[in-house]
Structures are given as C-alpha cells and as structure tokens.
A = this chain, B = another copy of it.
Amino acid sequence: MPKNTFVNKRLLEKAKKENVELIFDRFEKQQPQCPWGLDGGCCKNCFQGPCRIISNKGVVKGICGATSDVIVARNLLRMCAAGASSHVDHAREVVLTLDAIVHGKAPGYRIKDKAKLRAIAKALGKPYKGPIKKVAEFVVKEALEDFRRQHGVFHIKGEGEYLNWLKINATKERQETWKKLRILPINADLEISRAQHVTTIGNDADPVSLLLQTLKIGLVDGYAGLHLATNLQDVLFGVPTLVKSEVNLGVMKEDYVNIAVHGHVPLLSEKIVEWAKKLEKEAKKVGAKGINVIGVCCTGHEVLMRHGIPHATHIIESELPIVTGALEAMVVDTQCIYPSLQDVASCYHTKIITTMIAKIPGAVHIPFKVENADKAARQIVLEAVNNFKNRGKNILIPKEKTELIAGFSVETILSVLSKLNKKDPLKPLIDNIINGNILGIVAVVGCRNVKLRGEKFAEKMIKILLKNNVLVVATGCIAHAAAQEGLMRPEATERFAGKTLKAVLTAIGKANGLPCIPPVLHMGSCVDNSRIEVLINTIANKLKVPIPKLPIAASAPEWMTEKALSIGIWALALGIATHFNPIPPITTSSAEVVRKILTQDLESITGGKLLLGTTPEDAAKVILEHIKKRRKELGLKQ
C-alpha cells in the first residue's frame, strides 16, 4: 500500500502480521477500477445490455438508443433514489417509534422534548395545548402522510399536495421555486419507486427531465429523510447541547468491556448507552473496570452529540477497533456496515452483533425492535460483557486521541450567540458576515472514501477555508476526520483560523466561558445535515436574501455512498454551490448535457451548481471564489 497514508499504522501492521485482510487490501485488489463504472457510461437497466459508452470510438448510444446523457442521468437518478431510500427508511423507523409510544407499545422510550414536539405540531398547523400524546398522534399522522400521499386522489387530498416536512422546513422562496419546476415530491416511497420506473428500459429518455426528477429525489431525502429523522430524534432523545468528548481509537480502554455502536439509528445506540451504565456491575463481575461504549460512524455521532460518548472512528477505519483485540462487541444497525467486519472479527474474539436490516452471515443476530428495546439492549450488552473473558493476548490500543467540543445543534448555536446579544442572538453572526470578519459559511460533510488513500483531503481543504476566515460546519464521517485532526478544539481557532474569524470566535467563546469556539462546528450525524439547512434558513430569513445568493457553499470532499450523493443533490436544489470529490459518475465525455446542466445551467434553475476540484487546494479555491462572488453580488465587504 505505497500510497496509503491512513493513520494507525501500528494497527495496520498488526493486521498484516495476523493475516487479516482489511479494506485497504481489497481496494488494491480492485485496481484498476472499471472505467465505465467510474465515468457513468455503463447501463445495466435491461438484459439486452449491458451497454457501454465508448465516446472516442463513436459508441455514444446504448442498444435501445439511449444516449450517453440519458444513461448517465438515469444512473444518477437511481443512485440518488437508493440514497434517499436509506434516510427515508431511517426516518420511518423513528416515526413508527413515536407511534408506538403513543400506543403504549414502546415502554423503553419516552417523549423527552415535549416543547419541540409541540413546536412541530404548531408548524404543521395545530398548536395543540392538550395532552402530549394527542400532539404526538397528530404529528405521527402527518409524518406518515409523507409516505402515504397519492396524487390526483380526489377523496383524500387535492392535487398539488406535497411533503409536509418540506412545507414546514423549507423557505417559502424555495417552495415557490420547486413548484415552478414541478419537483415537489408527492410521497417519499412513491417518488423513489417511480424513479425506478422512469429509468427502466424505454421510459424517460430526456436528460433534462431525468435531472429534474433527480432534484426531486434530493428533496425527498432532505425532508422525508433528514429533517424528519432529526426532528423526531430530538423529540425522543433531546436536542444536543454543548458537550466535550474525545475522538480516535485511543478512546478504547484496555481494562474495560469495550462496546462499539456502529450504524445510524439512535433508537439502538441510545439503549446500548443506557444499558451499559445499568450493567456496570456485571462487567466488574467478569474482571473489567466497567463498560466503555464508543461510537463509530453516524450512530456514534448521535450519542456523542447527546451524551458525549467518545467517538472511535469513521467508516474507513471501522475494521480497526476489532484489530486492537480489545473490542468485545460491535453492535450494528443499518447502513455503512462493511460485511468484512465479520471476516475481521472471526480472527479475533469480537462479536459482531447485527440487529436490524444489516445482516451478515456468521454474526450474532439479536433482532432489535422498539417494542422489545430494553430486553434486546440488555441481551446485547451482556453478550459483550460475557465476551470479555475471551480476549486474546495480543492487544494494541493506539494512544492517539483528541479532545473536541460537539453538540452544535442550531438551538445550541443560537444559545451560544445569545450570550453576546440576548435579544437578537443572530445579530453577532450576521454582522460579522456582513462586515467580512466571517467570509462565509461552508458545510463540509459526508463520507471518507478509501479512494482518497488517507491523504486527508478534507482536513487540508478545511484548513485553507479556515485561514480565509470561512466558518466551517461539519457532520458525519468528515466531522470525525476533522475532530481527529484537532479542528474541533478551541485551540484550532488559534492555530488555523484567519485573523478576523479568530477574533469573532474568541469573542463568542469568551462570552460562554471558553477560550474560544472551535472553527469547525460539529453539527451531528449525516441526517443532521438537516440542521445545516435550519441554520442557513435562519440566516436567509434574517438577511431577507434567498439561499442561492448567500455567501455559503457545501462540500462532500470524500463522498462514496449513494446517500451522500442524494444529500448533495438536495443541496443543489436548495441553491447551494456544492463541491463533490471524487467527481460523480458523469464524466463520460459524450454526456455533455448532464455535465453542463449540473456545473453551469443549474445556477439559473435552482441557483445551485456542482463545483469540481480534485485537490484540496483546487476545491478550496473554487469554493472561495464562489463565496467571494456572492459577497460581491450582495455588495458585502470583500
């Protein structure tokens, strides 16, 4: 692995010595990767195919006559639909949990933030003052409608109805824009299902139409996925507040029963955290000092944000906690769970415990449902505790770990700002954007991608942005990477922020009893990208400037999942210039229409556009240029 500069080299060496195959090895085996898979010019949507576009040999159509643009656009739509389905299914689980609570079927859960639930009901048009269960029942009904609504159904709702969660979360201006484009989604599952239909052989062959439908799927993801999940998770588990914790594999503890929670749905990880505390005594009985829950991937961020649970690793390194030899159990739910985890675990004592849809042959499967949450969580934690005795002798827990401050929900951000201006908390932020102390805000989000070979693309890009006085907000695996790099500590402001940004963050920090606020704000898991829109909407409404005109941008500098793509498309629909690296599979040379629309024309359609930059420097450059352009257009100080 000559190019691989991933951290924790000692663990990599340990794995090698112990003949354990890791993702880096499998990645090398796949080189060179299929050029058609990479450039999007491959179609498998019927079995007259597969077809491949070979532009330089004049093969620019599939057997059915689908053009390069059609093939690329169809692939993009299908990828995004699959991505959106992940968040939609996640959100559905949370809605159904609230439903189960209402009906007394989920004894392990409760409505923690009643005020937030009432606020949602109010936004939905019913400012209930009655019992909270009634409020919940109403909210559940309206939420489920976002999976149930049919169009043209005269006896249910009129035509033109669309996602409730879009209505209550997107700005009026955006809703008008999407209405004109006819991309307001009817219901989440219907749109995802229809995206399959339109992309089957002999259906929609208009790349413009396909791209519009891709934008629609982005809206499905954003509202029936992200916002819905975050909203109701906050209702069930509370809105995150400022919290200090640590990241990196050094958070594992040799004397403790180590349990990793990995996946996305806090319904499970919340319960594991709870039962790990309750079963401390059991751990002591088997000779451990206690139970140490650590986070991996997004569900790790959920319990970091709400409970300060230390976060061990992002997705690419998710096999490594097992290689330490000190992980008793890795409890997984859904999404981003490498099947290889069980292969690696079979070389050590670690138990991989699957619970929901991510099933792996050989793993222990303990079905987790909200109805039996406590029983299942107890069983899972005991499984880990009882596994402590099976540890081998070769244990290597890296020392590296870094402090961070997390918990930056929008509520927290406003609360922190209110220490400067109680009456108008947003004013200090807005004033500093206007006067140029803060050049702009960039959301750096998404996955870590093994293709980037651990070259720290995200970290390098973020540092350039910070130096240019850009405030960065982050979620998901990139948030972990930034934290691991130390960018979520107050000290990072001193070290990396430009002069004026540093001054602002120091002033805010001091008002809050901190040396300063970190320059990269941890806003949560990938579904919490919803929080970023709330922040942007708040600023847009305050400034009375539509989103596309704001000095902001987004970046998924190391994306790799289909859902990262659909979130990015949502950002494009929101009118946000969005950087993607690697370049999405739209590079087939003859697919010029799709590329032109995404990178140019879209600016006059939704206001967003796809930014490309395949080095950290280039990426930062295009982002900064965009922000400066927007500042100029708004007449703000350069």
Selected from B38, B42, B150, B192, the residue in CB contact (under 8 A) with A147 is B150
Chain B interface: which of A1-9, A24-32, A416-424, A597-605?
A24-32
Complex Cα spacing A585 to B46, Å? 11
A557 within 8 Å of B by Cβ?
A: no
Scan A371-400; emit 1 where CB is below 8 A from any B CB, else 0: 000000000000000000000000000000
Complex Cα spacing A103 to B156, Å? 11
A537 within 8 Å of B by Cβ?
A: no
B34 with A65: CB separation less than 8 A: no
A12 within 8 Å of B by Cβ?
A: no
Chain B interface: which of A229-237, A405-413, A493-501, A560-568?
A560-568
- Please indicate the chain B residues that have their CB under 8 angstroms from the CB of A201 in the complex: 335-336, 560-562
Selected from B189, B208, B339, the residue in CB contact (under 8 A) with A192 is B189
A521 within 8 Å of B by Cβ?
A: no
CB distance from A461 to the nearest CB of B (A): 18
B153 with A144: CB separation less than 8 A: yes
A336 with B202: in contact, given A96-B152, A103-B154, A189-B192 (CB under 8 Å)?
Answer: yes
A154 with B359: CB separation less than 8 A: no
Residue of B nearest to A105 (CB): B154
Complex Cα spacing A461 to B549, Å? 65
Complex Cα spacing A387 to B483, Å? 67
CB distance from A473 to the nearest CB of B (A): 23
B29 with A153: CB separation less than 8 A: no
How many copies make up the complex?
A: 2
Complex Cα spacing A141 to B156, Å? 9
A204 with B358: in contact, given A65-B341, A193-B192 (CB under 8 Å)?
Answer: yes
A130 within 8 Å of B by Cβ?
A: no
A360 with B192: in contact, given A34-B42, A34-B52 (CB under 8 Å)?
Answer: no
Q: Which of A81, A99, A153, A565 has the most CB of B within 10 A?
A: A153
CB distance from A159 to the nearest CB of B (A): 10
CB distance from A322 to the nearest CB of B (A): 12
B153 with A338: CB separation less than 8 A: no
B200 with A563: CB separation less than 8 A: yes
CB distance from A74 to the nearest CB of B (A): 10
Selected from B42, B154, B204, the residue in CB contact (under 8 A) with A37 is B42
Scan A500-533; emit 1 where CB is below 8 A from any B CB, else 0: 0000000000000000000000000000000000
Scan A352-369; emit 1 where CB is below 8 A from any B CB, else 0: 000001111100000000
B150 with A144: CB separation less than 8 A: yes
A198 within 8 Å of B by Cβ?
A: yes
Selected from B30, B152, B187, B203, the residue in CB contact (under 8 A) with A335 is B203
Complex Cα spacing A197 to B338, Å? 15
A151 with B46: CB separation less than 8 A: no
CB distance from A309 to the nearest CB of B (A): 21
Complex Cα spacing A40 to B178, Å? 38
Complex Cα spacing A33 to B531, Å? 46
Complex Cα spacing A105 to B153, Å? 11
Complex Cα spacing A209 to B36, Å? 30
Complex Cα spacing A189 to B561, Å? 22
A562 with B200: CB separation less than 8 A: yes
Residue of B nearest to A585 (CB): B47
Residue of B nearest to A340 (CB): B65
Selected from B52, B82, B99, B155, the residue in CB contact (under 8 A) with A152 is B99
Complex Cα spacing A38 to B44, Å? 9
Scan A434-463; emit 1 where CB is below 8 A from any B CB, else 0: 000000000000000111000000000000
Selected from B34, B150, B187, the residue in CB contact (under 8 A) with A50 is B34
Chain B interface: which of A84-92, A249-257, A627-635?
A84-92
B61 with A26: CB separation less than 8 A: yes
Residue of B nearest to A195 (CB): B85
Complex Cα spacing A340 to B148, Å? 36
Complex Cα spacing A99 to B154, Å? 7
A334 within 8 Å of B by Cβ?
A: yes
CB distance from A560 to the nearest CB of B (A): 5
B194 with A47: CB separation less than 8 A: no
Complex Cα spacing A189 to B192, Å? 8
Complex Cα spacing A185 to B435, Å? 57
A543 within 8 Å of B by Cβ?
A: no
A199 within 8 Å of B by Cβ?
A: yes
CB distance from A47 to the nearest CB of B (A): 5
Selected from B52, B64, B88, the residue in CB contact (under 8 A) with A339 is B64
Residue of B nearest to A33 (CB): B50
A337 within 8 Å of B by Cβ?
A: yes
Residue of B nearest to A96 (CB): B152
Residue of B nearest to A582 (CB): B47
A343 within 8 Å of B by Cβ?
A: yes
A339 with B65: in contact, given A47-B560, A334-B203 (CB under 8 Å)?
Answer: yes
- Please indicate the chain B residues that have their CB under 8 angstroms from the CB of A150 in the complex: 92, 96, 144, 147-148
Scan A57-75; emit 1 where CB is below 8 A from any B CB, else 0: 0010111111100100001
Complex Cα spacing A83 to B196, Å? 8
B30 with A193: CB separation less than 8 A: no
A45 within 8 Å of B by Cβ?
A: yes
- Please indicate the chain B residues that have their CB under 8 angstroms from the CB of A358 in the complex: 202-205
B205 with A339: CB separation less than 8 A: yes
Complex Cα spacing A153 to B524, Å? 29
A211 within 8 Å of B by Cβ?
A: no
A430 within 8 Å of B by Cβ?
A: no
A49 with B30: CB separation less than 8 A: yes
- Please indicate the chain B residues that have their CB under 8 angstroms from the CB of A559 in the complex: 47
Q: A89-B194, A205-B360 are in contact. List 6 more A-B contacts (CB 8 A).
A: A67-B339, A82-B196, A82-B199, A85-B196, A193-B193, A202-B358
- Would you give 12 A-B contacts (Cβ < 8 Å), ordered by A? A27-B63, A30-B51, A47-B585, A85-B197, A89-B193, A89-B194, A96-B151, A99-B153, A105-B154, A189-B192, A193-B193, A201-B335
Instruction: State the 8 A-B residue pairs at the shortest beta-carbon distance, nearest first.
Output: A65-B340, A37-B50, A205-B339, A189-B189, A103-B154, A85-B196, A202-B336, A82-B196
